[in-house]
Amino acid sequence: MHLRLVIPHAVWPKETEAAEVTVGLKPAAFSLLCGRGARERFEPVRCLDWLAQAFGLDDFPAGPLTLAAEHADAEPGYWLRADPVHLMANQFGACMADPRGLHVSPDEAVQLVATLNHQFAGDDMHFIAATPDRWLLRLADAPQVKFAELESAFGNEDIGAFLPQGPDAARWHRRINEMQMLLYAHPVNDIRASLGLPLINSLWLWGGGRYPLRHDLQKPAEWLMADDPMIAALARLAGCHRGPRPGMLGNLPGKKVLVVLDDLAYPALWGDALTWREGWTMLEGDWFAPAHEWLSAGKISTLELILPEAGLRIALDRRALWCMWRRPWLPW
């Protein structure tokens, strides 16, 4: 079996904090695999963009892939993700609350999307709620701006630097302000405020692309195992078998398997060092120690560890384990 393990945010994102966060963090099996393997550097990239490149795409089209996963009969066109979020004012400007705490209900999504469609119908903009917390926006043409990925705003004290940029940025800033005012004044948010719930007071636009996506994609593995429905949709379009990410290394299907181990991503993005370290403990016991055993026993012929944000690929086979002179090594 050729096993590729993709580990988003395996390195703590803030360099000034990394030394303190990783004190005493020494996952033995992972460090041995990293030390014995051949290390290859590449330009650091978000995990989703690394996956897109593995499938032959330039970047990760979150909007079209959400449609493919949740709303496949949608009208063709240029589609963006338009995720509902809660923004909070602070001394630096504005920051975003963790979207996982918003808990948008299906009825709230229906009401808010209907109001947005009524307001922006004259601009040839159409919103849909693929799921209560995954909204999309169809445009007549590709916009002349660059939208920042949703995760770029996570944990930042001021999201101002991540607003749309490009030739048409001013118009999009006005549109986003209009969306915010419309959402803030909506009766849905009056009810949420009375219940002490965070307001759905803005949309985060990101991940645009043409829908439907082309089908002549590269196939990086026979099986792709991940929990994100967008990744599953990408695998389906490429003709890969797909399944949910297993809880631990066990009886994996196929001879060429790619697994996305995303336990570290959210804690890293939100600055939760304790949970990030706990994630390493879990990954060490459930994946890296068993992977070392399987590689030694010949159950895995080749193993790759991909750390996209660190720009690092580590590859090794059974023979590499006998290179005793290669000392354990960790990317931090």
CB 286 within 8 A of CB 249: yes
| The pLDDT value given to residue 251 | 80
Distance CA 87, CA 183 (A): 12
Structure tokens at 280: 């390493």
| The pLDDT value given to residue 284 | 98
Name the pairing type of β-strands 87-90 and 93-96: antiparallel
For residue 148, the 8-state DSSP code is: P
- Does the pLDDT of residue 242 top 90, yes or no? yes
Q: In this prediction, what percent of the chain has a pLDDT beyond 90?
A: 95
| The pLDDT value given to residue 174 | 97
Distance CA 330, CA 26 (A): 8
- Write down the mean pLDDT value for the chain: 96
Q: In this prediction, what percent of the chain has a pLDDT beyond 70?
A: 100
| The pLDDT value given to residue 254 | 85
- Does the pLDDT of residue 297 top 90, yes or no? yes
Q: Is 215 helix (H, G, I), strand (E, B) or coil?
A: coil
Q: Is 236 helix (H, G, I), strand (E, B) or coil?
A: helix
Produce one character per residue of 163-178: b if its CB has 16 or more CB atoms within 10 Å, e if not.
bbeeeeeeebeebbee
CB 265 within 8 A of CB 279: no
| The pLDDT value given to residue 216 | 87
CB 326 within 8 A of CB 314: no
| The pLDDT value given to residue 228 | 96
Contacting residues for 310 by C-beta, under 8 A, at least 6 apart:
10, 11, 44, 331
For residue 162, the 8-state DSSP code is: G
| The pLDDT value given to residue 215 | 79
The 10s digit of each residue's pLDDT in 56-65 is: 999 999 999 9
Decide which of 27 and 250 is more confident: 27
| The pLDDT value given to residue 214 | 84
Distance CA 118, CA 97 (A): 27
Confidence of residue 2 (pLDDT cuts 50, 70, 90): very high
Phi, psi of 229, rounded to the nearest 5 degrees:
-60, -25
Secondary structure element (H or E) that encloses residue 4, with its range: strand 2-6
Residue identified by tokens 């929990």 is 227
HSE toward the beta carbon, residue 93, CA cutoff 13 A: 11
Q: Rounded to two decimals, what is the model's pTM? A: 0.94
- The stretch 5-25 carries a mean pLDDT of 96
Distance CA 289, CA 183 (A): 49
| The pLDDT value given to residue 12 | 97
- Does the pLDDT of residue 206 top 90, yes or no? yes
Query: Using alpha carbons only, how large is the chain's radius of gyration in Å?
Result: 22
The 10s digit of each residue's pLDDT in 165-194 is: 999 999 999 999 999 999 999 999 999 999
The 10s digit of each residue's pLDDT in 273-288 is: 999 999 999 999 999 9
- Sign of torsion over alpha carbons 106, 111, 115, 118: positive
For residue 119, count CB atoms less than 10 angstroms from its CB and return exposed for 0-12, middle for 13-18, buried for 19 or more. Answer: middle
| The pLDDT value given to residue 328 | 96
- Does the pLDDT of residue 26 top 90, yes or no? yes
Structure tokens at 146: 């660059």
CB 66 within 8 A of CB 136: yes
Domain boundaries, given as residue ranges, for the chain = 2-59+218-322, 62-211
The 10s digit of each residue's pLDDT in 120-166 is: 999 999 999 999 999 999 999 999 999 999 999 999 999 999 999 99
